[in-house]
Amino acid sequence: MQKTVAVLGGGVGGLTACYHLSKSPQVSQVVLLEGSGRVGGWLSSTRRADGAVFERGPRGVRHVGPTGRNTLNMVAELGLEGELLPVSHRSVAAKNRFLYVGGRLHRMPTGLGGVIRTIPPFSRPLLLSALKDLVTPRGAAEDETVHAFVTRRLGAELADLAVDCLCRGVFAGDCRVLSVRSCFPPLFSLERERGSIFLGMLLGARSGAEAPPSALVRRSQEERWAQWSLRRGMQTLPEALEDRLRSSGRVHVHKHAAVTRLETQGSGWEIKLQDGSVKADHVISALPAQALASVLPPAAQPLSEQLREISMVTVAVVNLEYEGSVLPVPGFGHLIPSSEDRGVLGVVYDSVAFPEHNRPGDPSTRLTVMMGGAWFQEAYGNVGDVTEKFFLGQATRAVRSHLGVSAQPIWSSVAILKDCIPQYHVGHWKRLENIRHYIGHHNLPLTLAGASYGGVSVNDVIFSGRKAAESLVGEV
């Protein structure tokens, strides 16, 4: 039966849902409702007139796993192969990653030597952590914090340093409250299936058959990509999706169309906007969980309560440009454990990974400093009370302290990304079960997509948009 589907939220998840719906003859009309004046959500690139590119949100995408391959397939379908900027596993940006511990930079151990020797900031070889994992029995809990899981299997030092930093880099979150089952499902599954993380990695996780890889996926494997970006920045991807949707003639894209209320009407919805309404047979919500909760009808209060429990954190992102080559070490960047600095999460050496985004001509160094996250209020106070000038000062001080860069930046940009990354706290999987059960039990014509539920990476969000569309129309 042909139907009208409304997609709420024009981030990359909502755009992807529209993209797949537009291919299906089962849908007569797709309406995309985006509250702001642009699509793309947190994929946001600053393109300077001189050719330099800076990212406010994600700056690179990994190609591994089914979700990574799915994204590359879509990139190929959109005709963006010529825009790709791959980073090889052999590059210094892939091999050199640092932790800032004890007031100095430490390169993360790599290769066999990094496993069998003691390399600061760690006090013992990583091989001993692997041996601990091999003799540690399976956990019995349905879920636990990332910190507790890693401490139990690999030791407290790895949890306190490496994993604390990893969670700050990926989720801007605290590994002492984040769920291992929801944040790192492969680790949870390896322990469940194999009884050991390392044994599971050696034997491989159990998985079903996969579709044949596309030519672009095969290229990424042959060239051993670590990650990739796009020549004009990551914002190119949502722009290409928007162009494809508009040219399809089947998707109506509405910006400045914030949803104020969802009301059930027969077997469908009436979607109230500030200046009118839209009727739809089905809604795919790619809004953050708390935003969806605020517009659901009062009768769905139990669902709203579950959605509101999925919290978000705010991150301040400061892009900096310095004259000349100022980095003391080449690499992707460095992360800072919460024991070293609560407020500053990490510094990305953008010029190393993607030199193509530098301004042409005289050399310059682009850096991005990330601050706040789960520690935003503790370190900086209420988001409305902190100025961009303050964060610029914090960022330049961090660069001076961590990297020894005494010069002042020749260009800067500050963005305070309010409520930008969902936090999957312990029990998140059960909350999702309850949410899905409520939607199914009450036959709500509602499907959820986006970062609030099954993964915060660009790949995860794109995959969620595809799966949301396919849950209505089948595989396309």
Mean local confidence (pLDDT), 460-470:
97
Q: Express each pLDDT in 289-338 by its tens digit.
A: 999 999 999 999 999 999 999 999 999 999 999 999 999 999 999 999 99
Phi, psi of 105 (to 5 degrees): -85, 140
Q: What is the pLDDT of residue 205?
A: 53
Residues ≥6 apart with Cβ < 8 Å to 449: 13, 14, 16, 17, 284, 285, 286, 461, 464, 465, 467, 468
For residue 238, the one-letter residue type is: P
Mean pLDDT of the chain: 94
d(CA 347, CA 380): 18
Q: What is the pLDDT of residue 209?
A: 46
Q: What is the pLDDT of residue 126?
A: 86
Q: Which residues pair with 47 in a beta bridge?
A: 53
Mean local confidence (pLDDT), 150-178:
97
pLDDT at 208 over 70: no
The crossing angle, in degrees rounded to 10, of helices 185-194 and 146-154 is: 40
pLDDT at 456 over 60: yes
Q: What is the pLDDT of residue 2?
A: 63
pLDDT at 200 over 90: no
pLDDT band of 182, cuts 50, 70, 90:
very high
Mean local confidence (pLDDT), 325-353:
97
pLDDT band of 201, cuts 50, 70, 90:
confident
Percent of the chain with pLDDT over 90: 87
Q: Express each pLDDT in 50-88 by its tens digit.
A: 999 999 999 999 988 999 999 999 999 999 999 999 999
Mean local confidence (pLDDT), 348-366:
96
The crossing angle, in degrees rounded to 10, of helices 12-21 and 236-248 is: 30
d(CA 284, CA 116): 50
pLDDT at 187 over 60: yes
d(CA 21, CA 23): 5
Mean local confidence (pLDDT), 19-44:
96
Whether 5 contacts 471, CB under 8 Å? no
Q: What is the pLDDT of residue 204?
A: 66
pLDDT at 207 over 60: no
Residues ≥6 apart with Cβ < 8 Å to 433: none
Q: Express each pLDDT in 3-17 by its tens digit.
A: 999 999 999 999 999
pLDDT band of 143, cuts 50, 70, 90:
very high
Q: Express each pLDDT in 408-428 by its tens digit.
A: 999 999 999 999 999 999 999
Mean local confidence (pLDDT), 225-234:
97
